[in-house]
Structure 1
Amino acid sequence: MNGLLANAISMGILAWGWANFSTALGVSTWAGFMGTTTYYASGERFIKGWIKGIIANMVGVLWAIICVEASKVLNVPNIAAIMTGVVSFGIVAQARWKRLSFIPGVYIGCSTTFGMLALNGTYFSTVTALLMGSVVGILSDAGGELIVKLTKKKELETALKAEE
């Protein structure tokens, strides 16, 4: 079985599990999927992709906190729009540092925070969902690898029996 199909099977099973598990725990399912999305968008695999995604998402959450909290204390007309511009500038400008260069991952973390706050979530609930979702991403990738290994072993056994 090829890797993409194996990952699809693994992701399908884990997505089903995540939807049930997150709902039972009261964790935002969609925000968790943003963590999974970040893992897959990182362009890296396993621990390297997981760490890259987590760093990006958490920096995005920090940018959202800066935007929201500054908007609360600064009494300036259109402050939310101004802060959105400031934060967007910062997200892209920080990419000159390698560890902070995964711009889509930072935007995912920031946007997920805004979405969660709009739905009466908290910063903590956002971080929790993103982190849990990133685990779903790495587990689905590892599950795909396991499926590939198991099916290749089975294919080899079948081929050997056919030769007998």
Structure 2
Amino acid sequence: MTPLIAIAITTGILSGIWAWFSVAFGLVTWIGFIGCTSYFASQGCWRSLITTWLTNTTGVFWGMLLIKGADLWGQGVFSFMMVAIVAFMMCFQGKQRWLSYIPGTFAGCCIAFGSNGAWQIAIPSLLVGALFGFAMKQSGLLLFKIWPARFAKKGD
């Protein structure tokens, strides 16, 4: 068995559990999968989980700034300038080590728009989803480690 196959097995199992868990606890399933994906696209360790949480959350903040700010500056040229400024700031915050995962920030911003500004449910869904992503990868790597070589076929 390869690490990819092991991670695929645990990802499949935990994806089903996440789908049930999110519904059972009032979280948004698709947002959690974005959190999971954000984690998988990072370096894949504890530090990456924390960075994913921080950047996804700040991304939601930037998205909410644009959503709420639109009431102040309207939909004209000024709104386009604000999008440019916020996009710059989302990249610029990457100068800070814990906020350096810029795709996580953009994913969080997209979640703010995709959830129609419902940040109160978007943030917990993102955070728990990223935790599930961490569990998927780490459990897959553990499965790969403990899978007895005698059960593996050549080419597995």
- Fold-level similarity (TM above 0.5): yes
TM-score if structure 1 supplies the norm length? 0.83
Question: Aligned to 1:133, which of 129, 132, 136?
Answer: 129
Which of structures 1 and 2 has the bigger CA Rg? 1
Taking every aligned residue pair, what percent have the same amino acid on both sides?
32
Q: Specify whether residues 11 and 85 from structure 1 end up closer, same or farther in structure 2 by C-alpha distance, changes over 3 A only.
A: same
Q: Which residue in 1 is equivalent to 2:105?
A: 106
Query: Could you tell me how far apart the structure 2 residues matched to 1:93 and 1:139 are?
Result: 30
- Verify the 8 A CA contact 1:68 1:80 in the aligned structure 2: no
- State whether residues 71 and 79 of structure 1, in contact with CA within 8 Å, keep that contact through their aligned partners in structure 2: no
| TM-score (norm: length of structure 2) | 0.87
Q: Matches of 2:32 and 2:75 in 1, distance apart?
A: 34
CA positional deviation for 1:79: 4.7
Q: Displaced runs of 4+ in structure 1, greater than 6 A?
A: none
Report the aligned-residue RMSD: 2.0
Unaligned runs of 5+ in 1: 159-164
Q: Deviations over 1:59-106 (max 9, x none)?
A: 101111211122122357345433322211111122222222211010
What is residue 154 of structure 2 aligned with on the other side? none
Structure 2 residue runs of 5 or longer lacking an equivalent are 152-156
After the TM superposition, which of the residue ranges 103-112 and 141-150 deviates more from structure 2? 141-150
Q: What is the rounded CA distance, in whole Å, between the counterparts of 2:85 and 2:75 in structure 1?
A: 14
- Structure 1 counterpart SS, 2:115: helix
1:97 aligns with 2:91: no
Alignment partner, residue 143 of structure 1: 139
Partner of 1:60: 59
1:122 and 2:99 matched: no
CA contact (8 A) 2:31 2:111 kept: yes
The CA distance in 2 between the partners of 1:14 and 1:76, in whole Å, is 42
Amino acid at match of 1:24: A
The 2-side partners of 1:100 and 1:21 are apart by 28
Cα deviations by residue, 1:92-147 (Å, 9 ceiling, x for unpaired): 12222222221101000110111011xxx611111011011011111111210221
1:26 aligns with 2:26: yes
Whole-angstrom CA distance in 2 between matches of 1:138 and 1:109: 17
Q: What code does the residue aligned with 2:84 have?
A: G
The 2-side partners of 1:74 and 1:90 are apart by 18
